[in-house]
């Protein structure tokens, strides 16, 4: 579903404006530098750029924020990905003895992609999204955020809208950054409930006892299910979708339903489906809800320490939308289609600057303050600032510890 | 010998000290001299044991009764320890080596295999996996008291939680795993362990997890121990690799060590034998006649949607490389198919061609990737929504699998035989049965463990068969086999004189063992 009026042809003109005026370099550097607690953390971080004409360059790295700014302005990347912190500067990896250049640390990341839900959504498919199926992302964020905080003890989670059809999560705790491949894969599998490809019909199977994690996740799904699945997706309205649901019901219960269906009694089916007096050990109604709503994550994205993921605040070249951080306090009202686009952000900024030029006082001074403050990007950068303030508390402790050790008063 | 009152001083022989525990972390290497032939035979026996573990692990649920029984048998046959409660200097039941000797063999053979298996990432991964499974089986066989003793002796200190906390968390603890009941919570100590130390339990969600800690009852401390074992072994192998040049300079050892690590790999179909002998036009018909079901499925999906996702491209692409497609052919094959779909030529060249060249070792770290074995296809990289890779016998819904087999015109009785095998989790046997049914032969003359092997065997059957040659070779070898298993004393006597001669015989045994297995 194209965002109305967006044409990738505008990128060569608008991206430079975006990078010059709007991209929040100071905050970005503050994030990736992590307080300077570890030496060369920022310098050894890999970035990759996708330039005009699909030219892809890896192993970009920068010594300072200024250098990052200069290079981005020069290269004008259409897409920016962030990778791992390596043992050496990525842009010098060719000079390093083979085998010694290694990815050491990276945030733990998750990528939820709406395409993975194509078998259970009827309103859209592939890269399209709408307000009806966006609820799936809302559910996913609620479930995963809770689990990562309460179960795993992580505290610094940055949720970002990908710009097109999904959300990303960056877990920035120090413990998360230091996780091994095996640990990342274990976390991702703990969080996985929907299993199987096209060949598998029943993708969620629950057995007794139900783990507390499953209970908590179900509680979230149940909150949204009636409105989302029954009203918006209408999974029980048409024959094909009813058949799909029934394919997930055990044979013996199905027999009971067949009678009701042929009577055409929707209300009865609905209540049977959702509140069936399940035999002990049978959880099919829960399994159905989870199959339709539970987050589907790509384990491979989370596993690799060196995996590259789209950067917050980068532009999505196919939609023009900016990957903005999401404030979880306003999660339920988040509208991906109303997110600032490169056009709206730069144009809005231009208008404001124009008006201000007319009130000529301290124009130069004001220009120094990043222009995002006057644009629709403002609230997202503010939220990012809050996130960074929280993160900063964690490395203040580290810095104190370090200076104590070095007896540096 | 002194007697004081009623108490006798028990004289502990040095043997009891050294191998007092049934199970060990292999922290200390052996420090003794031994004969070359003992060195070789220990190593070969342990490799056989590890190979058995690998095969059993695919066909049976680990630690099921069948699994344990078979592993007990194999351990006994190879003179490895299998009864953890046997006392080291027990001389009563002795036919064959004593418990002490078995433990010594276990200790030494482990360290020898470290030398052979530390060299590459793949070898290390394989070795660690089998040793972990072996350790799991043995730890599982210990009595509870012995387990506690083991933990203490090996410095695994984890904190227990207070009685109040246990009470508060009781419901959650009980609901988090099958074998924790209210009584368990009351009776046993629960340990708070950082989740990074208990990944297996976290991965399978078999434990209660809160704020980054898992809460484990004493009875389940196994998973932790296994993780610890795995980590220690991994670090040790890295260290071993560094001292390898010194070892390799000893010419007596180098040939054996090389042969040991090669034997595991056996046929990995990485060396392309028939490059260019297959033309692209043949692939459609080959996919029906000679491809295993997994590859036939992938080929079909590719033709239908003109696209495959990454997992499918890897599994199928490497298989094609293994049957002899050259890089140019591969590029043409994928390109022509993808272009029929949503990808234009330009995009293909930019986004997908790189990956294909990567597969052939022409990009990046230039590793020449080997086609996936059945084990790899079954166990790693689970397919999810939109994927078509994996093993259909393992990953497809039984109903869908049945439909597919019907569509491929397999007889109803054949289908039910296959489904039986699938139910019993014998995926490779199911595929073998599929082979037998589609090639109209009674019994396959091979033991399936690799998709490319399936292809080669299929071509062999369809082309008239060279099986006869193989048959003749085998009986001769099994004679040598039984001769080699003579008594230790004989072997030691022969060793000095025949050290050089024994080696090729031993390694031939190894080859035949792994090929016929």
Mind listing the domains of chain B with CATH numbers?
2-147+226-261 (1.20.930.80), 159-220 (no CATH), 280-507 (no CATH)
A46 is an active site residue: yes
pLDDT at residue B141, rounded to an integer = 83
User: Catalytic annotation on A404?
Assistant: no
Q: Which residue has the tokens 């009351």?
A: B186
pLDDT-derived band at A81, boundaries 50, 70, 90: very high
Instruction: Using a CB–CB cutoff of 8 Å, tell me whether B10 touches chain A.
Output: no
pLDDT at res. B9:
43
Contacts of A210 in chain B (CB under 8 A): 175
Long-range contact pairs involving B74-77 (C-beta distance under 8 Å, separation at least 24): B74/B48, B74/B49, B75/B49
Q: Which pLDDT belongs to residue B500?
A: 38
Tell me the chain A residues in contact with residue B381 when contact means C-beta distances shorter than 8 Å.
300
What local confidence, expressed as pLDDT, does residue B70 receive? 84
Residues of chain B with pLDDT under 70: 1-18, 83-95, 157, 262-274, 276, 366-368, 465-517
B19–A contact, CB cutoff 8 A: no
Nearest CA in chain A to B194: A152
CA distance A300 to chain B (A): 8
Helix pair B427-438, B412-423: axis angle to 10 deg: 170
Q: What is the pLDDT of residue B362?
A: 81
For residue B35, give how far its alpha carbon lies from the nearest alpha carbon of chain A (Å): 37
Asked whether the ipTM of the predicted complex exceeds the cut of 0.95, the reply is: no
Does residue A367 surpass a pLDDT of 70?
A: no
A94 near B CB under 8 A: no
Residue B327 burial class via C-beta count within 10 angstroms: exposed 0-12, middle 13-18, buried 19 and up:
middle
What is the structure's pLDDT at A32?
97
Q: Which of B204, B346, B400 is closest, CB to CB, to A199?
A: B400
pLDDT for A143 equals 97
Task: Pick B261 or A257 by higher pLDDT.
Answer: B261
Closest B-chain CA to A126: B386
Please tell me the predicted confidence (pLDDT) of residue B83.
Answer: 65
What's residue B17's pLDDT? 59
Which of A119, A179, A209 lies closest to B175 in CB terms?
A: A209
Task: Give the span between the Cα atoms of A386 and A329, in whole angstroms.
Answer: 13
- Based on the number of CB atoms within 10 Å of its own CB, is B37 exposed (0-12), middle (13-18) or buried (19 or more)? buried
Among B202, B385, B401, the residue with its CB nearest the CB of A186 is B202
Residue of chain B with shortest Cα separation from A178: B196
Q: Out of A105, A111, A287, A371, which one is annotated catalytic? A: A111
For residue B98, what are its two tokens?
């004593």
- Cα distance from B73 to chain A (closest Cα, Å)? 33
Banded model confidence at residue A357, pLDDT cuts 50, 70, 90: low
What residues of B form the annotated binding site for [4Fe-4S] cluster? 294, 374, 391, 431
Q: What pLDDT, on a 0 to 100 scale, did the predictor assign at position B79?
A: 85
Share of chain A above pLDDT 90, in %: 58
In this structure, the strands spanning A55-60 and A45-51 are antiparallel
Using CB atoms, pick whichever of B210, B212, B395 lies closest to residue A197: B395
Which conformational region is residue B313 in: left (phi greater than 0), alpha (psi within -120 to 50 degrees), or beta? alpha
pLDDT at A244 over 70: yes
- CA separation for the pair B517, B509 (Å, rounded): 12
Mean pLDDT score of chain A:
86
pLDDT in tens, B252-276: 887 788 777 766 555 566 666 667 6
Q: CB-based contacts of A155: which residues, under 8 Å, 6+ apart?
A: A149, A173, A390, A394
B167: Cβ–Cβ under 8 A, 6 or more apart, which residues? Answer: none
* A216 interface with B at CB cutoff 8 Å: no
Judge whether B169 is closer than 8 Å to chain A, CB to CB. Answer: no
Confidence of residue A361 (pLDDT cuts 50, 70, 90): low
Burial code (b: 16+ CB inside 10 Å, e: under 16) for A248-272 equals bbeeebeeebeeebeeeeeeebeeb
Chain B nearest C-alpha distance from A246 (Å): 15
Q: Kindly state whether A210 is in contact with chain B, defined as any CB-CB distance less than 8 angstroms.
A: yes
> CA of A239, closest CA in chain B: separation in Å?
21
Q: Output DSSP code: residue B271.
A: S
Whose CA is closest to B176, among A151, A275, A279?
A151
A113 is catalytic: yes
d(CA B507, CA B514): 11
Which residue of A lies nearest to B199 if distances are taken between CA atoms? A186
Closest-CA residue in chain A for B354?
A56
Bigger pLDDT: A269 vs A310: A310
CB B315 within 8 A of CB B372: yes
Q: Which of A69, A81, A113, A371 is catalytic?
A: A113
Per-residue confidence (pLDDT) for residue B513, from 0 to 100: 42
Q: How confident is the model at residue A4 (pLDDT cuts 50, 70, 90)?
A: low
Whether A175 and chain B come into contact, CB under 8 Å, resolves to yes
Is the Cβ pair A180, B175 closer than 8 Å? no
Q: Which one has a higher pLDDT value, A405 or A371?
A: A405
pLDDT reading at A89 higher than 90: yes
The pLDDT value recorded for residue B301 is 95
Beta bridge pairs of residue A27: none
Model confidence over A29-67: pLDDT tens digits?
999 999 999 999 999 999 999 999 999 999 999 999 999
Kindly state whether B394 is in contact with chain A, defined as any CB-CB distance less than 8 angstroms.
no
Sheet containing A108-113, strands listed edge to edge, beginning at the edge strand earlier in sequence: A108-113, A166-171, A157-161
Beta-bridged to residue A57, according to DSSP, are: A49
């Amino acid at each position: 579903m194209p965002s109305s009026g967006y044409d990738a042809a505008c990128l060569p003109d608008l991206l430079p404006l975006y990078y010059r005026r709007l991209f929040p370099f100071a905050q970005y550097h503050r994030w990736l530098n992590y307080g300077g607690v570890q030496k060369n953390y920022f310098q050894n971080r890999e970035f990759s750029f996708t330039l005009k004409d699909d030219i892809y360059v890896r192993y970009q790295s920068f010594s300072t924020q200024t250098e990052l700014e200069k290079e981005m302005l020069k290269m004008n990347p259409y897409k920016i990905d962030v990778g791992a912190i390596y043992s050496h500067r990525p842009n010098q990896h060719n000079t390093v003895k083979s085998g010694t250049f290694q990815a050491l640390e990276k945030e733990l990341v998750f990528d939820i992609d709406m395409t993975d839900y194509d078998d259970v959504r009827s309103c859209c498919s592939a890269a399209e999204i709408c307000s009806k199926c966006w609820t799936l992302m809302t559910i996913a964020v609620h479930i995963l955020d809770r689990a990562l905080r309460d179960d795993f003890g992580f505290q610094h989670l940055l949720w970002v809208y990908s710009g097109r059809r999904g959300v990303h999560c960056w877990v920035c705790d120090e413990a998360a950054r230091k996780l091994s491949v095996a640990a990342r894969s274990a976390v991702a599998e703990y969080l996985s409930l929907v299993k199987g490809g096209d060949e598998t019909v029943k993708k969620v199977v629950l057995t007794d006892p139900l783990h507390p994690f499953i209970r908590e996740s179900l509680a979230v799904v149940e909150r949204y299910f009636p409105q989302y699945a029954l009203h918006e997706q209408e999974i029980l309205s048409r024959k094909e979708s009813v058949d799909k649901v029934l394919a997930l019901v055990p044979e013996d219960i199905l027999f009971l339903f067949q009678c009701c269906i042929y009577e055409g009694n929707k209300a009865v089916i609905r209540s049977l489906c959702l509140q069936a007096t399940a035999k002990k050990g049978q959880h099919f109604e829960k399994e159905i809800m989870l199959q339709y709503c539970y987050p589907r994550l790509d384990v491979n994205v989370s596993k690799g320490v060196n995996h590259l993921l789209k950067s917050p605040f980068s532009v999505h070249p196919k939609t023009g939308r900016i990957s903005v951080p999401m404030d979880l306090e306003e999660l339920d009202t988040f509208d991906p289609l109303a997110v600032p686009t490169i056009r709206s952000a730069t144009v809005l900024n231009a208008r404001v600057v124009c008006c201000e030029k007319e009130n000529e006082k301290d124009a130069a001074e004001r220009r120094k303050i990043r222009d995002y403050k006057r644009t629709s990007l403002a609230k997202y950068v503010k939220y990012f600032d809050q996130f960074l303030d929280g993160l900063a508390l964690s490395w203040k402790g580290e810095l104190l510890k370090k200076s104590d050790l070095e007896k540096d008063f | 010998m002194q007697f004081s009152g009623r108490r006798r001083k028990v004289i502990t022989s040095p043997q009891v000290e050294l191998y007092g525990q049934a199970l060990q972390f292999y922290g200390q290497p052996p420090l003794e001299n031994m004969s070359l032939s003992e060195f070789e035979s220990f190593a070969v026996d342990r490799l056989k044991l590890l190979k058995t573990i690998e095969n059993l692990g695919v066909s049976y649920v680990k630690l099921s009764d069948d699994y344990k029984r078979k592993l007990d048998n194999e351990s006994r046959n190879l003179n490895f320890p299998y009864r953890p409660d046997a006392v080291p200097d027990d001389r009563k039941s002795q036919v064959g080596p004593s418990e002490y000797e078995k433990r010594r063999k276990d200790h030494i053979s482990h360290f020898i295999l470290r030398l052979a298996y530390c060299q590459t990432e793949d070898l290390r991964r394989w070795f660690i996996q089998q040793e972990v499974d072996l350790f799991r089986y043995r730890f599982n066989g210990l009595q509870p008291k012995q387990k506690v003793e083991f933990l203490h002796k090996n410095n695994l200190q984890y904190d227990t939680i207070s009685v109040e906390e246990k009470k508060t968390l009781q419901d959650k603890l009980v609901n988090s795993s099958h074998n924790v009941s209210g009584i368990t919570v009351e009776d046993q100590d629960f340990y708070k362990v950082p989740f990074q130390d208990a990944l297996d339990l976290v991965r399978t969600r078999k434990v209660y997890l809160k704020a980054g800690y898992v809460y484990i009852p004493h009875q389940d401390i196994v998973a932790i121990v296994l993780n610890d074992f795995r980590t220690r072994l991994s670090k040790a192998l890295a260290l071993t690799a560094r001292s390898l040049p010194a070892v390799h300079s000893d010419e007596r050892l180098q040939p054996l060590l090389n042969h040991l690590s090669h034997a595991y790999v056996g046929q990995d179909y990485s060396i392309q034998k028939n490059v260019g002998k297959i033309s692209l036009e043949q692939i459609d018909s080959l996919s029906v006649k000679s491809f295993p079901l997994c590859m036939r499925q992938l080929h079909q999906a590719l033709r239908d949607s003109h696209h495959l996702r990454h997992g499918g491209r890897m599994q199928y692409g490497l298989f094609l490389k293994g049957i002899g497609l050259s890089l140019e052919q591969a590029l043409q094959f994928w390109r022509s198919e993808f272009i029929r779909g949503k990808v234009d030529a330009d995009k293909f060249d930019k986004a997908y061609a790189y990956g294909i060249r990567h597969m052939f070792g022409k990009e990046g770290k230039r590793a020449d990737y080997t086609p996936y074995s059945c084990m790899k296809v079954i166990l790693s990289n689970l397919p999810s929504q939109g994927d078509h890779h994996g093993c259909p016998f393992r990953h497809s819904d039984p109903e869908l699998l049945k439909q597919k087999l019907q569509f491929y015109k397999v007889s109803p009785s054949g289908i039910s035989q296959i489904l039986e095998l699938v139910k019993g989790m014998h995926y490779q046997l199911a595929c073998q049965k599929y082979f037998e049914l589609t090639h109209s032969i009674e019994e396959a003359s091979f033991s399936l463990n690799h998709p490319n092997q399936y292809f080669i065997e299929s071509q062999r059957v369809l082309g008239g068969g060279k099986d006869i040659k193989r048959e003749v070779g085998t009986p001769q070898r099994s004679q040598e086999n039984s001769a080699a298993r003579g008594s230790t004393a004989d072997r030691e006597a022969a060793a000095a004189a025949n050290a050089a001669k024994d080696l090729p015989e031993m390694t031939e045994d190894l080859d035949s063992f792994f090929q016929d297995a």
